[in-house]
């Protein structure tokens, strides 16, 4: 046993470029994509044939056959086949939560090194049969005699063949995530202009990051893509202003531009104890300090679906005696520009901060020039479970480049969940 | 008493609704009424205000104390007020209105000091008024015009009456609109008034103006039993509205002393008996009645806390055919006796039968405001009751007591059931809620005036008429 938690190093990351739905990766499965990202990480850090403590990851949209998705990926990768793995699912928080769990095991001394990440495809999505057809098939399967096995099929009706695709709405409210955020954004008075501005900045910054080679050791080309397909370096505020609202009705402010598109992709991050990294002469980009997960009761309408990170951050700050302003970089996942701006506004609001967060005063505002400095999900795209890995690797490298500093990560997720973390270098 | 009249029941069936829409009939909905244990407000309370208002903190405090689900516009002063008052207020901008329903819209208009700023009302209510829930509430709070600091402010504040009355007529489905004028310095007196207006206790009060002034300190009370330990005299308590008043005051914790004429003693005892109260059978117009009442209350209860002058009669005739007996009896019972009993109860200052912090509530009538065909005697007496409230308000305020009146409109009682059908239907429907009120609606307004927390509510005549077109 070790005495006290160990420091956890972020060694680096690798991901494949994110593709728009039903495009370059439309024929690639979750397993294909995660294995590609994993193998890229293995070659980048010379881990071929190495047995790691574990590989953890998951996908939000998953086929039932992929019950051991990450373990299957490990077996198909160049890591040693005796590297254990497990799947994890926490909606869009999957990637960051996987990283948190690997980091926790390293900190506790249970493992020395591990890989965490996530993958998602909205192109190769699982399509289930409807509930009635499923029951018929199960009943037929339970039959003992041939007659018993055939009888249930007499109940078959044409409408039973309609597929049941994955739902894009919250089961308890029947509202899509965008519709939820449209309400939250309206309550917080988030304007179309502010959302478009953030979107424009995201594209500009991600394009600049690619231009200066920042992404070279974070992204490996895959199936004909070497950059994120959603990136529009030439977009402008004028172009964004022309888009029609897609959520919140005709007076809505959320468009296909300032909301993330459905996308496909995978990401991985290598974490280890500093000792393990030193032994292998691997770089330490940053330390994974801590994480916090919060959830809100959005069902009764008292809190917005995507507002959980606003609750998680102050708890994490309190644990470390930090103020919101004591960060050099902020990585707030841009699920929707409106989500980022609502969160920032809530932290400036006295009623929200005192009554809901239980603070004495508002957390205050942040220096916006420190927000998503190398672009965010609006530009890169957002393959749900792959976003956490993209952000952690990105922030770790940003801190390293900066010669040190502290960064805050915030990721909102379906089900009213939020996962946040602190990195330091 | 049925919860809704036959027409209201029919209109609220699926077929009835189709017929109503096709031929544009009035569309009354059964009003939500209060029962013990109910929340003050069920649903979202949106609290807004014109910049520079002085009531934001008070409103937030009341909203917090009633446990309301509240929102406020994202303006710094309103958000800071919510934070200071401990109100978990959700954020709100007009863009959010389209997706929400409001149990109550509350607007602090005290910041409006010149007519140009009245546009704040439009900006707040225009996106929200159509989103008010069934039996919802719209409450505007202003500064008493006579207590303003400039001509412009006085004009602008007086304008609020027109706004709330018109808004009351636009509200649908049992929702009501009220205006509360708050004197500067009386901010801490608002609790009982807001609780009454926001709750279903004020179901049939609509389009009214209530003035709240500064009074002695508001005591801490149990809002479920505000009259616990109090003694309340209710005249004319044996039936109709009087019986409902007795029951409501007893529900709120009071020991009720019911009074009625000896001929109705049986009915009276049935009412007071069931409420654990006591009965006093005498004729209030008798010469010795005031002294007897005072003596009884002093001897049996050591005084009285709440006096409800409810006893009243009608003796209708057109003026040309009005005989002396009809005229005199109505004036005697409805007005002259009320004054004599009041005098007897407040005589002797510190040794008065009316206890310190006493409450006198009179029952006037919209006939006393609008006048009524065939009721010159009755209208005269009831207008006199309003005059009585005006005349005694200062005297009572000086001893920490209050006097107010309710003016019922069309209330469903045995008396109104005898009105010929066409006249009755006209009376019932010619108001913003398209229905008659119930005796309990009058009783709830009286209970509000009677509350120990209504210290700053003095000299008001509040109609319980569903915003009747008569005299409005």
The pair of structure tokens assigned to A336 is 């929707």
Q: Does residue A165 belong to the interface with chain B, where contact is any CB pair within 8 Å? A: no
Q: Decide if domain B41-212 falls under CATH 3.30.1490.20.
A: no
Q: A–B: how many Cβ contacts below 8 A?
A: 59
CATH class of segment(s) B231-464: alpha beta
User: Mean pLDDT of all residues in chain A?
Assistant: 93
Chain A residue with CA closest to B89: the answer is: A351
Q: Which of A180, A203, A333, A382 is catalytic?
A: A382
Q: Does residue A356 belong to the interface with chain B, where contact is any CB pair within 8 Å? A: yes
**pTM (two decimals):** 0.85
Cα distances from B55 to residues A56, B87, B141, B190, in angstroms, run 56, 14, 8, 10
pLDDT at position A301 over 90: no
Q: Determine whether the interchain pair B95/A251 forms a contact, defined as Cβ–Cβ distance below 8 Å.
A: yes
Q: Computed over its alpha carbons, how large is the radius of gyration of chain B?
A: 22
- Average pLDDT estimate for A227-235: 95
- Rounded to whole angstroms, how far apart are CA atoms A110 and B453? 64
Q: Does residue A360 belong to the interface with chain B, where contact is any CB pair within 8 Å? A: no
The pair of structure tokens assigned to A398 is 């940003």
The pair phi, psi for residue A272, each rounded to 5°, is: -160, 165
User: Which residues, in sequence order, are CB contacts of A374 under 8 Å at separation 6+?
Assistant: A205, A206, A208, A209, A214, A394, A398
Mutation for A interface: B45, B72, B74, most A CBs within 10 A: B74
Q: Which residues does chain B have within 8 Å of residue A186's beta carbon, measured at their own beta carbons?
A: 93, 95-96, 98-99
Mutation for A interface: B63, B79, B91, most A CBs within 10 A: B91
Question: What is the per-residue pLDDT for B111?
Answer: 95
What is the residue extent of each domain of chain A? Answer: 177-213+289-424
pLDDT at position A156 over 80: no
Q: Does residue A382 belong to the interface with chain B, where contact is any CB pair within 8 Å? A: no
- Rounded to whole angstroms, how far apart are CA atoms B226 and B220? 9
Mutation for B interface: A351, A356, A363, most B CBs within 10 A: A351
Q: Determine whether the interchain pair B96/A253 forms a contact, defined as Cβ–Cβ distance below 8 Å.
A: no
Per-residue confidence at A49, pLDDT binned at 50, 70, 90?
very high
Q: Determine whether the interchain pair A186/B89 forms a contact, defined as Cβ–Cβ distance below 8 Å.
A: no
Question: What is the per-residue pLDDT for A122?
Answer: 85
Task: Provide the 3-class DSSP secondary structure of residue B428.
Answer: helix
Q: Are strands A417-424 and A406-413 parallel, antiparallel or unpaired?
A: antiparallel
Per-residue confidence at A2, pLDDT binned at 50, 70, 90?
very low
Question: How many C-beta atoms lie closer than 10 Å to residue B66's C-beta?
Answer: 18
| Range with lowest mean pLDDT among A264-273, A299-308, B5-14 | B5-14
Cα distances from A58 to residues A108, A218, A386, A416, B190, in angstroms, run 23, 20, 9, 19, 57
Do A393 and A15 form a contact (C-beta atoms < 8 A)?
A: yes
Q: Which of A92, A203, A333, A353 is catalytic?
A: A92
Chain B residue with CA closest to A349: the answer is: B79
- Rounded to whole angstroms, how far apart are CA atoms B288 and A92? 84
Give me the residue from B83, B95, B96 closest to A351, CB to CB.
B83
- Rounded to whole angstroms, how far apart are CA atoms A29 and B130? 50
Q: Determine whether the interchain pair B98/A249 forms a contact, defined as Cβ–Cβ distance below 8 Å.
A: yes
Q: Is A353 a catalytic residue?
A: no
Q: Determine whether the interchain pair A188/B93 forms a contact, defined as Cβ–Cβ distance below 8 Å.
A: yes
User: Which residues, in sequence order, are CB contacts of A77 under 8 Å at separation 6+?
Assistant: A35, A38, A39, A42
Question: What is the per-residue pLDDT for B1?
Answer: 41
Chain B residue with CA closest to A303: the answer is: B90
What is the residue extent of each domain of chain B? Answer: 41-212, 231-464
Q: Which residues does chain B have within 8 Å of residue A351's beta carbon, measured at their own beta carbons?
A: 72, 79-80, 82-83, 87-89, 91
- Rounded to whole angstroms, how far apart are CA atoms A215 and A199? 19
Q: Which fold has domain A177-213+289-424?
A: Peroxisomal Thiolase; Chain A, domain 1 (3.40.47)
Q: Which residues does chain A have within 8 Å of residue B99's beta carbon, measured at their own beta carbons?
A: 182-183, 186
- Rounded to whole angstroms, how far apart are CA atoms B300 and B291? 14
User: Among residues 329-348 of chain A, which lie with CB inside 8 Å of chain B?
Assistant: 345-346
Question: What is the per-residue pLDDT for B355?
Answer: 92
User: Tokens 């007086």 — which residue?
Assistant: B158
- Rounded to whole angstroms, how far apart are CA atoms B117 and B143? 14
Question: What is the per-residue pLDDT for A128?
Answer: 66
pLDDT, tens digit, 9 for 90 and up, residues A166-199: 666 777 888 888 999 999 999 999 999 999 999 9
Q: Determine whether the interchain pair A356/B82 forms a contact, defined as Cβ–Cβ distance below 8 Å.
A: no
Q: What is the DSSP letter of A7?
A: P
Q: pLDDT over 90 for what percent of chain A?
A: 81
Q: Which of A73, A203, A333, A412 is catalytic?
A: A412
Do A231 and A206 form a contact (C-beta atoms < 8 A)?
A: yes
ipTM of the complex: 0.79
- Average pLDDT estimate for A120-136: 76
Question: What is the per-residue pLDDT for A295?
Answer: 96
Question: What is the per-residue pLDDT for A1?
Answer: 45
Helix, strand, coil % in chain B, rounded to nearest 5? 45, 20, 35
- Nearest chain A Cα distance for residue B90, angstroms: 7
Give DSSP secondary structure letters for A204-252: HHHHHHHHTTTTTTTB--BTTBSS-TT--TT--HHHHHHSPEEESSTT-
Same topology between domain B41-212 and domain B231-464 = yes
Cα distances from A315 to residues A318, A357, A371, A372, in angstroms, run 5, 9, 20, 22
Q: What are the catalytic residues of B?
A: 378
Q: Is A203 a catalytic residue?
A: no
Query: What string of pLDDT tens digits covers the 472 residues of chain B?
Result: 445 677 777 777 777 777 777 766 677 888 999 998 899 999 999 999 999 999 999 999 999 999 889 999 999 999 999 999 999 999 999 988 888 899 999 999 999 999 999 999 999 999 999 999 999 999 999 999 999 999 999 999 999 999 999 999 999 899 999 999 999 999 999 999 999 999 999 999 999 999 999 888 888 899 999 999 999 999 999 999 999 999 999 999 999 999 999 999 999 999 999 999 999 999 999 999 999 999 999 999 999 999 999 999 999 999 999 999 999 999 999 999 999 999 999 988 778 999 999 999 999 999 999 888 889 999 999 999 999 999 999 999 988 899 999 999 988 888 778 777 877 887 788 888 888 899 999 999 999 999 999 999 999 999 999 998 876 6
Q: Does residue A302 belong to the interface with chain B, where contact is any CB pair within 8 Å? A: yes
Question: What is the per-residue pLDDT for A168?
Answer: 67
Question: What is the per-residue pLDDT for A293?
Answer: 98
């Amino acid at each position: 046993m070790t005495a006290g938690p160990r420091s956890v190093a972020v060694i680096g990351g690798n991901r494949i470029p994110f593709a728009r739905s039903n495009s370059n990766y439309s024929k690639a499965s979750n397993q294909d994509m995660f294995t590609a990202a994993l193998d890229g990480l293995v070659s980048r850090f010379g881990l071929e044939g190495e047995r790691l403590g574990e590989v953890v990851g998951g996908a939000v949209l998953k086929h039932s056959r992929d019950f051991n998705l990450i373990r299957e990926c490990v077996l198909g990768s160049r890591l040693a086949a005796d590297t254990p793995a497990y799947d994890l699912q926490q909606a869009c928080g999957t990637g960051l939560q996987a990283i948190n769990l690997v980091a926790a095991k390293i900190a506790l001394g249970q493992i020395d090194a591990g890989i965490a990440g996530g993958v998602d495809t909205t192109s190769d999505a699982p399509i289930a049969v409807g509930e009635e057809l499923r029951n018929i098939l199960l009943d037929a399967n339970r039959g003992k005699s041939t007659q018993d096995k055939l009888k249930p099929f007499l109940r078959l009706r044409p409408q039973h063949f309609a597929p049941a695709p994955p739902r894009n709405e919250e089961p308890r409210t029947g509202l899509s995530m965008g519709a939820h955020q449209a309400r939250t954004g309206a309550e917080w008075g988030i304007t179309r202009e502010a959302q478009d501005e953030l979107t424009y900045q995201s594209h500009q910054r991600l394009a600049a990051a690619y231009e200066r080679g920042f992404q070279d050791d974070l992204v490996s080309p895959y199936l004909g893509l070497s950059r994120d397909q959603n990136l529009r370096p030439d977009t402008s505020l004028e172009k964004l202003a022309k888009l029609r609202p897609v959520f919140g009705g005709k007076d809505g402010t959320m468009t296909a531009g300032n909301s993330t598109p459905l996308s496909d992709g995978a990401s991985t991050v290598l974490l280890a104890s500093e000792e393990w990294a030193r032994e292998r002469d691997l770089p330490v980009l940053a330390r994974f300090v801590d994480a916090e997960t919060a959830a809100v009761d959005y069902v009764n309408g008292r809190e917005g679906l995507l507002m959980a990170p606003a609750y998680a951050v102050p708890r994490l700050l309190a644990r470390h005696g930090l103020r919101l302003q004591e960060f050099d970089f902020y990585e707030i996942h841009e699920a929707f520009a409106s989500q980022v701006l609502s969160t920032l506004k809530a932290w400036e609001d006295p009623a929200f901060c005192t009554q809901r967060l239980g603070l004495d005063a508002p957390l205050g505002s942040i220096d916006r020039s420190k927000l998503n400095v190398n672009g965010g999900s609006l530009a890169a795209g957002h393959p749900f479970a792959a976003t956490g890995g993209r952000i952690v690797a990105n922030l770790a490298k940003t801190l390293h480049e900066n010669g040190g500093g502290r960064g805050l990560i915030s990721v909102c997720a379906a089900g009213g969940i939020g996962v946040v973390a602190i990195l330091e270098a | 008493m049925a919860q809704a009249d036959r027409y209201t029941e029919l209109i609220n069936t699926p077929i009835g609704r189709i017929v109503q829409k096709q031929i544009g009939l009035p569309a009354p909905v059964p009003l939500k009424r209060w029962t013990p244990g109910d929340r003050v407000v069920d649903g979202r309370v949106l609290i807004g205000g014109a910049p520079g208002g002085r009531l934001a903190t008070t409103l937030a405090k009341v909203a917090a104390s009633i446990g309301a689900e509240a929102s406020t516009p994202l303006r710094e002063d309103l958000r800071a007020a919510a934070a200071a008052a401990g109100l978990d207020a959700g954020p709100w901008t007009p863009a959010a209105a389209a997706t929400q329903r409001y149990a109550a819209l509350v607007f602090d208009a005290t910041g409006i000091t010149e007519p140009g700023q009245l546009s704040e009302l439009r900006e707040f209510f225009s996106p929200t008024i159509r989103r008010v829930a069934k039996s919802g509430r719209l409450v505007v709070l202003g500064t008493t015009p006579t207590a303003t600091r400039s001509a412009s402010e006085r004009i602008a504040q007086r304008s609020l009456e027109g706004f709330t009355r018109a808004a009351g007529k636009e509200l649908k489905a049992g929702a009501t609109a009220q205006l509360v004028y708050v004197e500067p310095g009386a901010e801490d007196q608002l609790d009982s008034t807001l609780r009454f207006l926001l709750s279903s206790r004020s179901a049939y009060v609509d389009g009214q103006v209530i003035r709240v002034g500064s009074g002695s300190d508001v005591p801490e009370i149990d809002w479920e039993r505000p009259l616990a330990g109090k003694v309340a005299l209710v005249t004319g308590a044996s039936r109709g509205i009087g019986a409902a008043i007795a029951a409501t005051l007893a529900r709120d914790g009071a020991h009720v002393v019911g009074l009625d004429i000896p001929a109705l003693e049986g009915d009276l005892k049935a009412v007071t008996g069931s409420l654990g109260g006591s009965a006093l059978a005498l004729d209030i117009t008798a010469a010795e009645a005031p002294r007897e009442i005072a003596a009884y209350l002093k001897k049996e209860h050591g005084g009285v806390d709440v006096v409800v002058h409810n006893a009243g009669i009608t003796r209708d005739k057109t003026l040309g055919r009005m005989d002396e007996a009809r005229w005199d009896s109505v004036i005697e019972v409805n007005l002259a006796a009320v004054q004599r009993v009041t005098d007897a109860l407040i005589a002797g200052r510190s040794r008065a039968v009316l206890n310190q912090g006493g409450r006198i509530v009179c029952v006037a009538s919209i006939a006393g405001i609008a006048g009524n065909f065939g009721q010159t005697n009755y209208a005269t007496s009831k207008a006199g009751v309003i005059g009585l409230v005006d005349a005694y308000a200062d005297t009572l305020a000086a001893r920490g007591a209050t006097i107010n009146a309710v003016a019922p409109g069309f209330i469903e009682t045995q008396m109104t059931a005898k009105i010929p059908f066409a006249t009755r239907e006209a009376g019932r429907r010619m108001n913003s809620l398209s229905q008659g009120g119930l005796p309990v609606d009058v009783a709830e307004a009286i209970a509000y005036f009677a509350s120990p927390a209504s210290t700053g509510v003095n000299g008001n005549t509040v109609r319980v008429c569903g915003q009747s077109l008569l005299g409005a």
